[in-house]
């Protein structure tokens, strides 16, 4: 079974709690977490996961991200197969 690389963009519900949101996301053990400036000191988190290419895994991961405290929105930016 192959692997899938997924890039999510997560916006915080409260911009003042970005560090708390980042800690919660990092607890899910992503490959990488980066902060991306949006506008007027608002930042989003770009999160990269590598998961098994199995049915429903992407949806489960997205739902876990949405259920974290202080998550305003979760957007899947890119999905690609790993070589």
Task: Output the pLDDT for position 61.
Answer: 94
83, pLDDT greater than 80? no
**Domain total of the chain:** 1
| 51: CATH | 3.30.70.60
Whether residue 72 contacts residue 11, with contact meaning beta carbons closer than 8 Å, is answered with yes
Quote the pLDDT of residue 76: 95
**Structural domain boundaries enclosing 8:** 3-81
- Specify the pTM: 0.91
């Amino acid at each position: 079974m192959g692997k899938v690389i997924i890039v999510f963009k997560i916006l915080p519900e409260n911009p003042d709690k970005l560090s708390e949101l980042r800690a919660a996301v990092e607890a899910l053990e992503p490959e990488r977490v980066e902060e991306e400036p949006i506008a007027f000191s608002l930042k989003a988190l770009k999160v990269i996961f590598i998961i098994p290419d199995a049915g429903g895994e992407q949806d489960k991961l997205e739902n876990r991200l949405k259920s974290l405290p202080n998550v305003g929105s979760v957007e899947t930016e890119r999905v690609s197969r790993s070589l």
